[in-house]
Structure 1
Amino acid sequence: MRIVIGSLNETKINAVKKVFPEAEIIADSIPSNVSAQPIGDEETELGAINRAKNAHHFHQNSVCIGLEGGVMLHRGELLLCNWGALVTADGKTYTASGARIKLPNNFKNKIEQGLELSEIMDNYIKKKHIRHHEGAIGIFTNGRMLRMDMFSHVVTLLRGQMEYWSK
């Protein structure tokens, strides 16, 4: 099986490799066609769907996966959210969402000012490019769940749906 992941981000690529160890994995820079910092389930899910469908446009005989991290408001608090989409070679689309975790209260104003979570996190922990490593989830779970694990969870849900519905 050939799988195209619509991202060059190592955490997303490694998540797909973990769930599909037998597959040929190709990473491609695919646009999400949503904000650089998706806000809310709808926009974050749409970004994942767009990545998967846009990848499918260029790689029609492949299974294509889009993964998108975002933030959402829930009861006045800012949470981390993430979505994934899988488009089969014949064009069927499956979606799934994963873990959510509360972010610090002062992040909400920064998001509203237009900053991306990755920028906020890099400044918050005084480290660069955590989106390519442990991610916010890794910081706020004390390393018990990393960004790759979070996306692996979503990719596992996508694979399970694809396998079930293709029976």
Structure 2
Amino acid sequence: MQFRKRQNIQESEKPLVLVGSKNPVKIACTEDGFTQAFNRSFLVEGINAFSGVPDQPVGDEETLLGAKNRAINSQKVFPDANYWVGLEGGIDEDNHGMFAFAWIYVLDRNGKSGQSKTGTFYLPKKVAELVKGGMELGKADDLVFEKENSKQQGGSVGILTHGVVDRSEYYRQAIILALIPFLNENIY
């Protein structure tokens, strides 16, 4: 996708937000989150951005790093946007089992950043076993639940809540929370 250079963005124009992924769910929830948070329209586009972490990040540190890298690498690819967003889903384990979550990282053209983590939810043992065996969560979900490309649809959260909370809704709230520093510039 070609982007036109935006050097002097006027208030009447839609600010450009680049998402470090071509996943349509991540693009749509970013647009929804920004629109709700700022009560205005944005042009939101997705680009492939390198995360610098494994396909299935484990733990907060690795998952947050993936989100941050996606935002920073999006900025390197197209520095004329207004915001760059990285979303990275991860897993971890505790004494109750394996759980899933995501980190959101937002960067603006002034170098300000915001970050937020979604809620967590536990994965079924069958899915967790496949992930422990080296399979990415989305592929494990597809196999166990007989789906195709579920991570570009409702994702694990959508499958397990029977569509009550889909992946877009799950991310949207965390995107808005990551925007808190931009919504309150006088105190951040």
Residue 26 of structure 2 is aligned to residue 16 of structure 1: no
Q: For 2:138, what is the secondary structure of its paired residue? A: helix
Larger radius of gyration: 2
| Deviation, structure 1 residue 109 | 2.6
Quote the residue 2:179 is aligned against.
Answer: 159
Q: 1:43 pairs with 62, 68, 76, which one?
A: 62
Quote the residue 1:147 is aligned against.
Answer: 167
Q: 2:102 pairs with 69, 75, 82, which one?
A: 82
| Deviation, structure 1 residue 166 | 5.4
Quote the residue 1:122 is aligned against.
Answer: 142
| Deviation, structure 1 residue 75 | 2.1
Q: For 1:20, what is the secondary structure of its paired residue? A: helix
* 1:58-110 Cα distance to aligned partner (Å, 9 max, x none): 22232100001111112251001101000111122211101210101233332
Q: 1:93 pairs with 103, 113, 119, which one?
A: 113
* 1:13-47 Cα distance to aligned partner (Å, 9 max, x none): 00011122311112111111100011111111110
Q: 2:50 pairs with 31, 47, 64, which one?
A: 31
Displaced runs of 4 or more, over 6 A = none
Q: For 1:165, what is the secondary structure of its paired residue? A: coil
| Deviation, structure 1 residue 149 | 0.6
> In 2, distance between residues paired with 1:166 and 1:33?
33
**Contact 1:138/1:144 (CA < 8 Å) preserved in 2?**
yes
Overall identity of the aligned pairs, in %? 26
Residue 75 of structure 2 is aligned to residue 61 of structure 1: no
> In 1, distance between residues paired with 2:24 and 2:176?
17
Q: How many residues align?
A: 167
> In 2, distance between residues paired with 1:95 and 1:16?
13
Letter in 2 for 1:93: S
> In 1, distance between residues paired with 2:103 and 2:160?
19
**Contact 1:15/1:152 (CA < 8 Å) preserved in 2?**
yes
- Tell me the C-alpha RMSD between the 2 structures: 1.4
**Ranges in structure 2 where 5+ consecutive residues have no aligned partner:** 1-14, 36-40
**Ranges in structure 1 where 5+ consecutive residues have no aligned partner:** none
> In 2, distance between residues paired with 1:117 and 1:78?
11
Q: Could you tell me the TM-score, scaled by structure 2's length?
A: 0.84
> In 1, distance between residues paired with 2:114 and 2:179?
9
